[in-house]
């Protein structure tokens, strides 16, 4: 399946471009929405958590954005991938191509949004100049992103396949993302989690990803190896499971569309 994706990468890139452009079609601000939306959320959450609830974190807007951006990438990608096959009924029924391209294209389209939103982090570092720590630890960033991408792809493949067979998947996904938002250290630091809960939460790959970005960019240190290692293991399992589930249901898509 992965080899077929590589052989037909030009088709895949066309689907990625189509998905990216269609998201902002007929919208006055166009791609500016990819920056405006997280910027509004950062302002609101900073007021609530930093100034009302008094969360003890320096440079809280950057701290928040380094948690919010990876989670938004996960949430938006999975939500989009869940409808990827259902929204392309005619394509699935009439054209012979690897169906796995549809959810993968959605995820890769959101990769572009992810890097656009990371541009906000760069702007905030210009404002909080003492927050950024340039060091060789920046070399960890590709590995953190690779773990993140593997996890997102795995879950996206699962939900895109199951949502064709079981239409309740979209509703279950919405509730699950709401729970996961609070089980991921987006608004808070993982260090404040009680030990009895930390052992459970660290199996959430987004914990290792978020804490990895914060360690490298905000603290100038290497990611916590136990968190990143568990994240890599869990993400690998999710990716393998996603490929197996999608392959299992792929041949019957046309029967349920």
Return the C-alpha torsion angle 197, 201, 207, 208, nearest 10: 100
d(CA 241, CA 198): 25
Mean pLDDT on 174-198: 90
Determine the pLDDT at residue 38: 72
- What's the domain count of the chain? 1
Does the reported pTM lie above 0.75? Answer: yes
Determine the pLDDT at residue 87: 83
CB neighbours of 227 closer than 8 A, spacing ≥ 6? 190, 202, 207, 208, 211, 212
Mean pLDDT on 3-28: 76
Q: Which domain holds residue 189?
A: 2-256
Determine the pLDDT at residue 120: 79
Task: Say if residues 209 and 148 touch (Cβ distance below 8 Å).
Answer: yes
pLDDT in tens, 31-65: 666 666 777 777 787 777 767 766 767 788 888 88
Determine the pLDDT at residue 29: 55
d(CA 57, CA 17): 38
Is the model's pLDDT at 69 over the cut of 80?
yes
């Amino acid at each position: 399946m992965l080899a077929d994706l590589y052989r037909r990468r030009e088709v895949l890139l066309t689907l990625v471009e189509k998905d990216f452009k269609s998201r902002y079609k007929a919208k006055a601000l166009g791609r500016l929405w990819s920056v405006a939306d997280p910027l509004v959320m950062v302002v609101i959450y900073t007021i609530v958590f930093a100034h009302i609830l008094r969360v003890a974190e320096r440079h809280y807007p950057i701290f928040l954005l380094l948690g919010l951006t990876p989670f938004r990438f996960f949430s938006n990608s999975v939500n989009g991938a869940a409808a990827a096959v259902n929204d392309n009924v005619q394509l699935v029924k009439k054209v012979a191509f690897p169906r796995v391209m549809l959810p993968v294209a959605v995820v890769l389209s959101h990769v572009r949004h992810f890097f656009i939103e990371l541009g906000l982090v760069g702007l905030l570092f210009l404002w909080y100049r003492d927050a950024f720590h340039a060091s060789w630890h920046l070399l960890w960033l590709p590995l953190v992103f690779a773990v993140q991408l593997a996890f997102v792809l795995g879950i996206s493949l699962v939900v895109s396949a199951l949502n064709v067979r079981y239409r309740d998947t979209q509703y279950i996904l919405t509730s699950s993302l709401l729970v996961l938002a609070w089980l991921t250290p987006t608004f808070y630091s993982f260090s404040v989690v009680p030990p009895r809960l930390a052992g459970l939460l660290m199996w959430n790959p987004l914990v290792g990803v978020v804490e990895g970005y914060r360690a490298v960019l905000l603290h100038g240190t290497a990611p916590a190896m136990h968190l990143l290692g568990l994240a890599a293991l869990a993400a690998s399992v999710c990716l393998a499971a996603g490929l197996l589930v999608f392959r299992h249901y792929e041949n019957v898509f046309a029967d349920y569309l």
